[in-house]
Amino acid sequence: MTTTAVRKDGPAAVTPTPTVGGHVRNYLSRVRGGDVGALPAVLGLIVLCTVFAIMRPSSFLSAGNFANLFTQGAAVTLIAMGLVFVLLLGEIDLSAGFASGVCAAVLANVVTVLGYPWWVAVLAAVATGVVIGTTLGMLVAKIGIPSFVVTLAGFLAFQGVVLLLVKDGTNISVRDDVLVAIANRNLAPALGWVLTALAVVGYAAVQLLRHRNRAARGLITDPLAVVALRIGGLAVILGTAVYVLNLERSRNVLIVSLKGVPIVVPIIAVLLVVWTFVLQRTSYGRHIYAVGGNREAARRAGIGVDRIRISVFVICSSMAAIGGIVAASRANSVDPNTGGSNVLLYAVGAAVIGGTSLFGGKGRVFDAVLGGAVVAVIENGMGLMGYTAGVKYVVTGVVLLLAASVDALSRRRAAATGTR
Amino acid sequence: MSATPLLELRGIDKSFGPVQVLRDVALTVHPGEVTALVGDNGAGKSTLVKCISGIHPTDDGEFLFNGEPVHIGSPRDAATLGIEVVYQDLALCDNLDIVQNMFLGRERRSGIVLDEPTMEQLAAETLAGLSIRTVTSLRQHVSSLSGGQRQTVAIAKAVLWNSKLVILDEPTAALGVAQTAQVLELVRRLADNGLAVVLISHNMNDVFAVSDRIAALYLGQMVAQVKTTDITHAQVVELITAGRSGGLGLATDPGSNGDGPQAADSISGGVR
C-alpha cells in the first residue's frame, strides 16, 4: 500500500515533550481558531472592575461591597448554572425565573404558614423544582413541543402560580434563622480559611494524580509547571478573596461585627464542583454534550436521547429552586415578583456571557459563575455610580449582545479554520 | 479465501407495505475480503444493510453467521455478533474529540468516573493497528478534522469493538482524490487484518481498486456475486443498469434458472 495520501495531512503523531511555551502556543492557536472559551468573560470582568475601581475607588473597592457582590449575584448565578444544562442541548428554559419564584413561594408557605422546620421547606421547594422540570422535559421530549413554547407557557403560568401561592399580592415573610442565614450571614473567618485550604489541597491532589496517572501510561500530559501554575493561581485567587472577605466590614464594630465569607459562597462552590464533575467526568455528562452536538449520532450510539432531554430540564428547575431559596433568604420574604422581572434574563445572560453557546454542545457550569459575576458587577457598579435602572438594563443588554456576538463569530471562525 | 463465509444470507425477502424491496436475496461475505455491494438508487442496498444491522426485520430468509443460523432482531443483536455499520452521514459529534467519539455510548468507567486514560490508550492502539497516522492529537475536536480524517475516525470507531464485519455505506462519496485514496487504503487494511468488509459504493473506480468480490443488486434482486477479477467495468455497469450482462445476471427468459447467485468464481444464475 502506498502512503502518499497518508503523509499529506500532517506529520506522524510523535509524542511531543510537553513544554510551557508549547502549552501557551497551543492555547493561543486554539483562541485564534475560534475556541475562545472563557476569555471574553474574564477580560470583560477585568475591564468592568478596572473602570468601576477608577470611577468609585472608595465604595466599589471596599470589602463590604465585595461581599455584597456575592449575595447580589447568588440567585441569578444558581439559576444560570442550571440553565447551562438546558442550553447545552440547544434548548431554552424561559420559565426558570418564575419556577424559582414558585419554589420560593412553596418554601415560604411550608415554613411560615404551615410552620414546618426549615429542612422540610427546602426539600419541598426542591421537590417542586423536580416536578416542574419533569413536566417541562416530558412536554419537550415526549410530545415534541419546542422548548421555547413550552417554557414560555410555563413563564406565564408560573407567574400566576406565584400570585396564587402568595394570596394575590401580600408577601410572606421568611423568619426561620437557618433560611435567613443562607444569604445574610457569614462563615466564621477561621472556617473560611479551613475550607479554602481544603479546596486548594483537593484541587492539587486531583490535578497531580491525573498528571501522574497519564504520565505513567505514556500519554501526553500538560507540563508540570502548568499544573503547578494552575494550583498556585487557584490558591492566590481564593486566598485573596477569603482575606478580603474576612476583613471587618461593619460600619460600627461596637454594634455588630461583620466579617467572613458569605454562606452562599460555599453553597455555590459545592454545586459548581458537583455539576462540573457530572458534566466532565461521568458518562451522563458526556452524553449531554453528545446530544447537544449531534442528536442523531447520539441516538445511533445507543444513548437514550429522550431521557437526557428530560433530565436537563429537571436539573435546570431544581437549580432554579435553589436560586429561589437564596432569593427568599436574601429578601427575608417572598412576594409576587420573586424570580420575576429581570431574573431569568439575567440568568440566561450570565450563562451566555460566560461562554455557553446558545447553539448547544458547548459550555461549562463555570461559565455561569463567571457570567453571573459580570452581571453582578455591572448591576452593582452602575448602582454605585448613581445610574438609574434604565441605564443599567441598557448596559446589561449591550454586554449580552456582545457576548452573543462573540459566540456567533467564534463559531464562524471555527467553521472557517476547520477544513470542513 | 476461507472455507466458511462469515455471513451468509439466504432468500431474504423484505416488503414495506405493498412494495417488495428485497426479493429472495442471497449474499455471502468472507473474512479477509472486501465485498462491494453495488446497485442503482432504489436497488435495495440500504435496505439490505439495514436488515443485516438489525434496524429492519426481514419478512423471510435465513442468516448464517460463521455457519450458525442466527436471528438479528435489533441493532444490539448485530453489535453483539460483531457487525458494525459506518453510515454515510458519519454520526460523529463535532463538539467532542476523537477519543470521546470513538467511545460514545460505550464509555469505559472506573466506578462512576470516566476512565479517560484507558480510553485514550485503546483509541491510540486501534488507530496504530490500522496504521492511521493522519491525526496529530487524539484530543482534537472532530470539527477540526478534514472529511477524510472524519471518515477514518468513523471507521476506526467501528473497528474498536472487536467487530468481525464492518459495513461501509459510501465512505468516499464526499471526499477529494487524496482523501479517497487514504480511506480506500484503510478499507483494504481492515480486510488484510482479517475482518470481513462490505463496501457500498457508486464509484466503479473505488470498487475495482479495493474489492475482492462484487455483489450487484438490481430492483431488489441479487443479480450476481462474482470475483472482481472475473468481471469488467462495463459488465458491472450493465448489471447495475439492466440487471444482466452477457451470461451474468437475470436470465432473458424468466423462470428458467436456479435459486440465486452462487459464491466463488462461478458465474451465477439469475433470480427468477
Average pLDDT score over chain B: 82
Residues of chain B with pLDDT > 90: what percent? 10
The better pLDDT of the pair A287, B130 is held by: A287
Mean per-residue pLDDT, A154-177: 88
Q: Is the pTM of this model over 0.90?
A: no
pLDDT above 80: residue B140: yes
A276 pLDDT band (50/70/90 cuts)?
very high
Give a yes or no: residue A95 inside a domain.
Answer: yes
Q: Which residues contact B111 (CB under 8 A, 6 or more apart)?
A: none
Look up residue A111 and give its DSSP letter: I
The size of chain B, in residues, is 272
- What pLDDT is recorded for position B80? 85
Interface of A with B (CB under 8 A): 1-13, 33, 35, 213-214, 217, 219-220, 281-283, 286-287, 289-290, 292-294, 296-298, 300-303, 361-362, 414-415, 417-420
pLDDT per position as a tens digit, A27-63: 777 777 667 777 888 888 899 899 999 988 888 888 8
Mean per-residue pLDDT, A391-410: 82
Q: Within an 8 Å CB–CB cutoff, is residue B105 touching chain A?
A: yes
Q: Which of A68, A65, A49 is nearest to A262 (CA)?
A: A68
Of A309-313, A365-369, A400-404, B192-196, the poorest mean pLDDT is in A400-404
Contact assignment for B146 to A414 by CB distance below 8 Å: no
A272 pLDDT band (50/70/90 cuts)?
very high
Residues of chain B with pLDDT > 70: what percent? 90
Contact assignment for B96 to A290 by CB distance below 8 Å: yes
- What pLDDT is recorded for position A270? 95
Other beta carbons within 10 Å of A249: 20
- What pLDDT is recorded for position A9? 38
Mean per-residue pLDDT, A115-124: 93
User: Which residue range(s) make up the domain with A159?
Assistant: 38-185+304-413
pLDDT per position as a tens digit, B35-45: 999 988 888 88
B252 pLDDT band (50/70/90 cuts)?
low
| Record: fold of B7-82+164-249 | Rossmann fold (3.40.50)
Give a yes or no: residue A228 inside a domain.
Answer: no
CB within 8 Å of chain A, chain B residues 125-144: 131-139, 141, 143-144
Q: Which residues of B touch A7 (CB under 8 A)?
A: 133
Q: Which residues of A touch B93 (CB under 8 A)?
A: 289-290, 293-294, 297-298, 361
pLDDT per position as a tens digit, B23-37: 888 899 999 999 999
Q: Which of A43, A129, A121 is nearest to A85 (CA)?
A: A129
- A301/chain B closest Cα distance in angstroms: 5
- What pLDDT is recorded for position B3? 65
Give a yes or no: residue A15 inside a domain.
Answer: no
Residue B9: strand pairing partners: B27, B63
- What pLDDT is recorded for position A125? 96
Give a yes or no: residue A309 inside a domain.
Answer: yes
pLDDT above 50: residue A3: no
- What pLDDT is recorded for position A369? 94
- What pLDDT is recorded for position A168? 66
- Helix, strand, or coil here: A328? helix
Residue matched to cell numbers 413561594: A105
CA distance A128 to A72: 24
Note the ipTM here: 0.81
For chains A and B, count residue pairs whose Cβ atoms are closer than 8 Å. 121
Give a yes or no: residue A118 inside a domain.
Answer: yes
Strands B68-70, B60-65: parallel, antiparallel or unpaired by DSSP? antiparallel
Mean per-residue pLDDT, B163-192: 86
- Helix, strand, or coil here: B21? strand
Give a yes or no: residue A21 inside a domain.
Answer: no
Give me the residue spans of the domains in chain B: 7-82+164-249
The better pLDDT of the pair A8, B146 is held by: B146
B251 pLDDT band (50/70/90 cuts)?
low
Contact assignment for A13 to B147 by CB distance below 8 Å: no
Q: Which residues of A touch B76 (CB under 8 A)?
A: 302
Residue matched to cell numbers 457570567: A371
Phi and psi torsions of B97, nearest 5°: -85, 180
pLDDT above 60: residue B269: no
Contact assignment for B114 to A283 by CB distance below 8 Å: yes
pLDDT above 80: residue A7: no
- What pLDDT is recorded for position B17? 87
Of A13-17, A104-108, A130-134, B113-117, the poorest mean pLDDT is in A13-17
Q: How distant, in Å, are the alpha carbons of A12, A316, B220 from that of A1? A: 17, 53, 35
Q: Which residues of A touch B92 (CB under 8 A)?
A: 294, 297
The better pLDDT of the pair B243, A240 is held by: A240
Q: Which set of grid coordinates corresponds to residue B23? A: 426479493
CA torsion A119-A121-A125-A131 (nearest 10°) is: 90
Burial class of residue A58 in the structure, from the number of CB atoms within 10 Å of its CB (0-12 exposed, 13-18 middle, 19+ buried):
exposed
A106 pLDDT band (50/70/90 cuts)?
very high
B165-169, strands of its sheet edge to edge: B83-86, B165-169, B196-200, B34-39, B213-218, B221-227
Give a yes or no: residue A10 inside a domain.
Answer: no
Number of domains in chain A: 1
Of B174-183, B200-209, B250-259, the poorest mean pLDDT is in B250-259
